[in-house]
Structure 1
Amino acid sequence: MSASDLLRQDASAMADAVRGNVVSAVALVQASLDRIEATDRRVNAFTAVLRERALRRAAQVDASLASANGPRTRELPLLGVPFAVKNLFDIAGLTTLAGSKIEREHTPPRDDAALVRRLESAGAVLVGALNMDEYAYGFTTENTHVGPCHNPHDLTRIAGGSSGGSGAAVAAGQVPLTLGSDTNGSIRVPSSLCGVFGLKPTFGRLPRTGSFPFVSSLDHLGPFARSARDLALAYDAMQGPEGRGPHDPGCAQRAVEPVGAALALGTQGLRIGVLGGYFRQHAQPEALTAVDAVAQALGASRTVELPMVEAGRAAAFLITNSEGAALHLPDLRRRAQDFEPLSRDRFLAGALLPAAWVARAQRVRRLYAEQVARVFEQYDVLLAAATPSAATPIGAEFFEINGHRLPVRPNMGLLTQPISCIGLPVCAVPVWGAHPDLPIGVQVIAAPWREDLVLRVAAALESAGLVHAPVAALA
């Protein structure tokens, strides 16, 4: 199999091919770079391509395989696999843009972000940085500074956001693995709209050191991939407490709890419920069809109502506005004209929120989390649509949900935001057939620290052929 053919496979197959000397890491990375060059003028997933760094790192992987250290190198789970990261992750020598114009003036970091280092320690090869909504504030990646990211399955439609480039790069076959961030749904929304797998781990599970913050009390980092197995490989490689030096104060510093072996356990014995009420009222028919198909495949027939869900989402809105605005207040005062207009206006609104409202939102958030924890005493896994609809056209300002005309940008995260604000682990799985032409994702949700359960369910659905992440039919 050629390197270009392998690029259409998942990361696990690529690492096996490099490990077995079927293809070199250099050839595989070169195929990724060629694919990016051939397709990204239309997709606009990348903001920077690290050709020299990537080929140098791939050559080091090949040299290690051929050396006396070869046996140890062969054990690396992501050996030679090309990957890319949302451009809010630090990359040594490359200015961290966070999708903005303002950050272009800042000095490039000297070190890679913690998760970039961990993936490269597992054998992966970084090839570039990816498009996103400015400062991660949005659900569409229609970035006015670098242009919108296009959905590879229909180039006239959005890729979702704010990690739109991360979802699109995997869907386009440019790389099999990417990293993104999720504050209110920014991993799960692009996963849903681009038809790939995405994992938002429990809040605090993975270190955020070396990433540009949006809302410190809500930000998560996690992977996108073409299979549940790849998510597990990347997640296991990124786990673990931080050592000396700079670290993320929000990281839980938990010991590594591998999930890879759990994927083979299937779903037998799991108590699975389907979220109703709010989660069905705010979804178009294709989203409900996707959820129902997944529920039927899993034998899940019980409907579950999350208590306080609308209050939880309202609290998340206030916390997001307030914390996000506080971070950018100096620039809002000095150079508001350099922000994207919609981001600027929302940050300005957040800066004007009364402190009493924000304090109350945090109290509501805690109470909501306590109520949801009681639900998980009866269920192991919950299901819900990941987005209210399939991908909307680029430039569309509104869509209709259950008879209501709503703005797209804040409401594509209607179904993810109530889950993010209490830090639950979620795997978004891509369903095809619910919409005539486009994918739509389903959230598989579990209690804190039970990433093993959401990945078990994702793997079982993939084995059954219900969910999959094909490479888009680009030239």
Structure 2
Amino acid sequence: MTPAEWLRQDAAAMAAGVRAGSVSATALAQAALTRIAATDGRVNAFTEIAQERALQNAAQIDVALTGAQAARTRSLPLLGVPFAVKNLFDIAGVPTLAGAKIERDSAPAQADALLVQRLERAGAVLVGALNMDEYAYGFTTENTHYGPTCNPHDLTRIAGGSSGGSAAAVAAGQVPITLGSDTNGSIRVPASLNGIYGLKPTFGRLPRTGTYPFVSSLDHLGPFARSVRDLALAYDAMQGPEEDAADPGCAQRPVDAVLPQLAQGARGLRVGVLGGWLRQQALPEALAAADTVAMALGAQQFVDLPLVEAGRAAAFLITNSEGAALHLPDLRQRPQDFEPLSRDRFLAGTLLPAAWVARAQRVRRLYAEQAARVFERLDVLVAPATPCAATPIGQEFFELNGQRLPVRPNMGLLTQPISCIGLPVCAVPVWGAHERLPIGVQLIAAPWREDAVLRVAAELEATGVTRAPIAALA
């Protein structure tokens, strides 16, 4: 295979190819850079290309494969695999933009984010930083400072957000693995709209050291990929206690490798379907995708998640208040440099009564307790990931249940209540028989059960129920 053909493989196959000497790490890095150069003028996934760094690191891997450390180098699980990260991850020598104009003035990062370091220790090669909604506050990646990221499957449509660049880069075949963040749905929404796999681990599972925060009590980090195996490879490489405990939200749990468990599939797992409010907030195309997944898994039991609607309201208040507090100095001194919609929502957050926020936290706690009872009798819950497929860029509203809803906040209608209580979720892509756009389904489990959602995702992938093809770009 040519390097360009190797780039179309999944990350596990790429690493195996480098390990066997069938392709070099340098050739893979160059293939990714070439693909980005050929396609990103239309997709606009990247805000920073780390060409020199990528080629240098890839060359070091190739040299190491011929030296005294060859055996150890060959054992690296992501050997030579190109990857990229949402531009709220620190990259040494580059300002961390977080999608904002204001952050262009920031000093370059002194060190890489911890998860970037961990992926590189596993042999992966960083090729750049990816577009996002300003300060992660949005679900469309229609960024007014850096331009909208386009959905590779239909360039007239949104990629979702706020990790839109991360999802689009994978769907476009630019890199096989990316990292994003998920506060209210920002991994699952773009995974759904771009037809790829995305994992939001349990809150606190992966350390956030070296990333720009949005809402510290809700922020999660996680990977995107075109295969469940790649998702598990990246997740396993990033697991483990934080070395310097710089992230107070990190749970400091030991590694619990999920890759060896994928072969078990859904065997022995009790799967149910979420009904009630979550099902009522989805258009027929989203319900059809969830029903396809449920049928494939033999899931016939419908269950309600108590307080789910109240949980979403609580997440809104907490997001508004915490996000606004973080940006208050700039809101006072540089309001004109914010995106207007982000600025207005942050300003609204500064006006929220403290009693409302305190009550939201109480609701959040009660909601988590109620959800825990559901997982006493079920292991995995199935629900739509987005209320609809990707909408056209610039479209401000969509119709749902006779109401005209704003796109930007409501693409996260079905994900926000799950983030609120920190549950692990894998978004899996479904393609309808007559649909040209994908739509995702959430697989949700109890805290620390990433193994359960990834095992179910692996079974769905193996049986062809879900798939993540590279978009048909030139």
Distance 1:435 1:142 in 2: 28
Q: CA deviation at 1:403?
A: 2.1
Percent identity over paired residues: 78
Q: Which amino acid aligns with 2:280?
A: Q
Q: Which amino acid aligns with 1:383?
A: V
Equivalent in the alignment of 2:277 = 278
Q: Which amino acid aligns with 1:318?
A: L
Tell whether the 8 Å contact from 1:289 to 1:434 is kept in structure 2 after alignment.
Answer: no
Distance 1:148 1:267 in 2: 38
Counting only pairs closer than 5 Å after superposition, residues 128-277 of structure 1 correspond to structure 2 as 128-244=128-244, 247-277=246-276
Equivalent in the alignment of 1:44 = 44
Equivalent in the alignment of 1:12 = 12
Q: Which runs of 5+ in 1 are unaligned?
A: none
Q: Which amino acid aligns with 2:420?
A: C
Secondary structure at the aligned position of 2:381 is classed as strand
Q: CA deviation at 1:243?
A: 1.4
Secondary structure at the aligned position of 1:98 is classed as coil
Distance 1:64 1:432 in 2: 42
Q: Which amino acid aligns with 2:473?
A: L
Equivalent in the alignment of 2:124 = 124
Q: Which runs of 5+ in 2 are unaligned?
A: none
Equivalent in the alignment of 2:451 = 452
Counting only pairs closer than 5 Å after superposition, residues 422-437 of structure 1 correspond to structure 2 as 422-433=421-432, 436-437=435-436
Aligned length: 474
Tell whether the 8 Å contact from 1:286 to 1:434 is kept in structure 2 after alignment.
Answer: no
Deviations along 1:445-475, one digit per CA (max 9) or x if unpaired, are 0000000000000000000011111000001
Distance 2:361 2:310 in 1: 11
Q: CA deviation at 1:434?
A: 6.0
Q: Which amino acid aligns with 2:153?
A: H
Q: Which amino acid aligns with 2:162?
A: S
Q: CA deviation at 1:402?
A: 2.3
Q: Which amino acid aligns with 2:3?
A: A
421-430 or 61-70, which moves further after superposition? 61-70
Deviations along 1:118-174, one digit per CA (max 9) or x if unpaired, are 000000000000000000000000000010000000000000000000000000000
Distance 2:353 2:35 in 1: 49
Q: CA RMSD in A?
A: 0.7
Q: CA deviation at 1:393?
A: 0.2
Tell whether the 8 Å contact from 1:94 to 1:108 is kept in structure 2 after alignment.
Answer: yes
Equivalent in the alignment of 2:77 = 77
Secondary structure at the aligned position of 1:89 is classed as coil
Counting only pairs closer than 5 Å after superposition, residues 333-372 of structure 1 correspond to structure 2 as 333-372=332-371
Equivalent in the alignment of 2:312 = 313
Q: CA deviation at 1:9?
A: 1.3
TM-score (norm 2): 0.99
Q: Which amino acid aligns with 1:357?
A: W
Q: CA deviation at 1:433?
A: 1.2
Deviations along 1:280-337, one digit per CA (max 9) or x if unpaired, are 1110111000000000000001101010011000000000000000000000011111
Deviations along 1:5-47, one digit per CA (max 9) or x if unpaired, are 0111111111011111000000011000000000000000000
Equivalent in the alignment of 2:288 = 289
Distance 1:434 1:256 in 2: 39
Distance 1:146 1:196 in 2: 23
Secondary structure at the aligned position of 1:31 is classed as helix
Structure 2 residue 67 is matched with structure 1 residue 62: no
Residues 435, 420 of structure 1: alpha-carbon distance in 2 compared, 3 angstrom cutoff: farther
Distance 1:242 1:275 in 2: 34
Secondary structure at the aligned position of 1:66 is classed as coil
Secondary structure at the aligned position of 2:334 is classed as helix
Equivalent in the alignment of 1:88 = 88
Counting only pairs closer than 5 Å after superposition, residues 100-119 of structure 1 correspond to structure 2 as 100-119=100-119
Q: CA deviation at 1:435?
A: 6.0
Equivalent in the alignment of 2:462 = 463
